[in-house]
Every structure is written in C-alpha cells, then in structure tokens.
Amino acid sequence: MTEAQNSNIRTYNAEFNRILGPSPKLTVALSNDSPLFHEACVFIPHLNAIFVTSNQFKPPGQDKKTIVISKLSRNDNGSWRREEVHAPGIPFANGGINYDSGILFCAQGSLSQNGGLVWMSAESPYSTKIIVDSYRGYPFNSPNDVVVHSDGSLWFTDPSYGVEQGIRPEPKLANQVYRFTPATGDIRVMADGFGKPNGICFSPDGQTVYITDTEFVRGDGNTDARRARTIYAFDLIHRHDSPFLTNRRVFAYSDTGIPDGIKCDTFGNVYSGCGDGLNVWSPGGVLLGKVLVPKGVANFCFGRSGELFLLNETKFWVLEVAKGVQGALLKGMGIDADGKSA
C-alpha cells in the first residue's frame, strides 16, 4: 500500500492513479447538524443540481422522525446552496435515479402507506406520480435503491429495514430484487437469498448487475459480524426472450462498514460508499484504492467529467479526480457530462 500526498487517499493498485489524476481534491461543500446528506444523490446536469434524501431525524420543534428531500445547487462562483423540496407523495424517500426528465425515488413507505417507486419532477412544484407500489397485491418491505437498464426496465432492491426502524408493518415478502417494466406493467422477482439487498447498479455494457448486501448493519444501527457486507455480481442473460440473473458470485467484501451505494464508471470500475469512505474496485474485483472520508460514505454520484459528490450524513463533499472519469449511468441514458444529448 502506498499513500498519496493527499492524506485522504489510499492507493492499493497503480491503476487507481489513473482515476485520481495528478491532483485529486476532496472538499466539504455543505454541512449541517442534521443528517441531510444520506441517500439518492441524483445529479441533474441541465440544472447543475443534485437531489438527496436525508436519514431519519426529528426536525427542531417536531416530535416525529421524518425524511426530507433537498435540492443542492451550484452557484456561479462554485459555492453550493440547499433548498428543501416539499414532496409529500414520497413517504420516507431513500435511493433515487435520473428518470424521464425527473427523479425516480424509492419510497420506503410508512405504517399507513405502501412503499414503491415514485417519480418526481425535477423542478417546482415537484409533482409526483406512483410508478409501482406492490408486488401482485403484496406491499413491498421498504424499497431502498433503484437503477434503470438500457432496455427501459426498472430494477430495485427491497430490504426489510423499515420494520426494524419502526416505519413499516411486518413484511409480507422476502428481501428480494425486482424488475418492473413500465411499458407492460410486468413485475418480476429477479434475485433472492439476501440478508438486506441494498445498492444496485449495472456495468457499462448492461450485462452484469452488482448488488450490495448490508445485513451487517441492523435497522437499529447495531452490527453483526456474522452477516454480509458484501457486493455480489450476477450475469444478466436471456432465455425464451426473458431476462434472468445467473452466476451469482462474491465480487468484493467491505473491510470497513458496509458497501452501501454502488455505481460504475465508463471503464467498468466499481465504486461503493463504505464505512471508511469511497472504495473503488476494478471490473475484476481488485481493490484499487480508497478516498477516506471521516465516518464513511453512504451514497454518492458522478457529476460532470472528473467529479463525484459524496454523502456523509451531515456533510456533502465534492471529489475532483481525473478529467476523463465519468459515471456510466448518465452516459448509458444518453446524457453526457455537460448535460447535452449524447
């Protein structure tokens, strides 16, 4: 292991230097006493803004815990500002992704409302629309993260964290990964056997799906070293004109905390927010390096070429790396780093 000049960098493989570039820089752009910077982290290029969801907390003067959605906008001078988004149609929002010129959120649901996938417009008045809220009549547990495949299907994880946190009733479904096709309304279980399926993303070619299992951390915050903190990889194949996941395998195991949010760059490298910061693996599962962040990273996203945004509960960080580094997600959706049609 070698240590770069930046004390936040840990390099385990020389390939990590290609990602970092000559002068990586990590800065705190926004901070707050409340855990406002937790999940989603959806970059909207044409707005030069990011939408994030908070962790559960009690706002000043209130008795009940809530989750708020925030819009983080970059000013012309490079500074950042935050505004709260009022979207009551998304109960206990969590993960999210760019979708149909807006944001597709995972709604965990509440004791009285089903969870599911809910679309929200990216601009005021932030209208919402339920995309799917049950599996053939059974309510989801508490949807956590979602990704869009190039064929238009929506893939999302559904762990039972909600019941452990007291916001959802007892589960009626296993902890599974689903695929929903908006064009037909078809919904399928694609993978099971998880403790707590959490983050999900596709490789740039759409042929591999990565899913994190974070059962190591319980809903009440306690940990169990016997449980998974693992990234699994699956091959996406087609049989009889239908998709299936095969060849489940351990891709990586987080040595510190859990691998929460997960995304790929355009070269197929796999990034995950872990207990010590942002960890990066090669497509072959080799740990290339880490960008250390105090108290870890829950989720993150790629911005314009050469930048990433990291969520650290009470802090929002900007990471500058090599100019050629881009997220596979937006490029796969036909949007380049400058927000123009690719």
Question: Residue 6: which pLDDT band, with cuts at 50, 70 and 90?
Answer: low
Q: What per-residue confidence (pLDDT) applies to 341?
A: 44
Does residue 340 form part of some domain? no
Overall average pLDDT of the 40-61 stretch: 95
Work out the percent of the chain whose per-residue pLDDT is above 90. Answer: 91
SS3 call for 123: coil
Q: What per-residue confidence (pLDDT) applies to 3?
A: 37
Measured in residues, the chain has a length of: 342
pLDDT tens column, 316-326: 999 999 999 99
Does residue 228 form part of some domain? yes
Does residue 264 form part of some domain? yes
Range of the domain at 310: 2-332
Q: What per-residue confidence (pLDDT) applies to 336?
A: 64
Q: How far apart are the first and last CA of the chain?
A: 38
Amino acid code (one letter) for 278: L
Does residue 107 form part of some domain? yes
Does residue 257 form part of some domain? yes
Pairwise CA distance, residues 152 & 155, whole Å: 10
Asked if residue 252 lies in contact with residue 239, where contact means CB atoms within 8 angstroms, the answer is no
Overall average pLDDT of the 110-137 stretch: 97
The tokens describing 176, both together, are 């599974």
Q: What is the mean pLDDT of the chain?
A: 94
The tokens describing 191, both together, are 């993978």
Does residue 112 form part of some domain? yes
Residue 2 pLDDT > 50: no
Nearest to 275 by CA among 261, 295, 301, 252: 295
Overall average pLDDT of the 98-124 stretch: 97
Does residue 337 form part of some domain? no
Q: What per-residue confidence (pLDDT) applies to 337?
A: 57
Name, in order, each residue with C-beta under 8 angstroms of 231's C-beta and a sequence gap of 6 or more. Answer: 210, 211, 212, 213, 250, 251, 252, 253, 254, 259, 262, 270, 272, 281
Does residue 308 form part of some domain? yes
CB neighbourhood size of 215 (10 A) = 21
Nearest to 147 by CA among 180, 111, 120: 180
pLDDT tens column, 195-253: 999 999 999 999 999 999 999 988 778 899 999 999 999 999 999 999 999 999 999 99
- CATH at residue 218: 2.120.10.30
User: What's the number of domains the chain is made of?
Assistant: 1
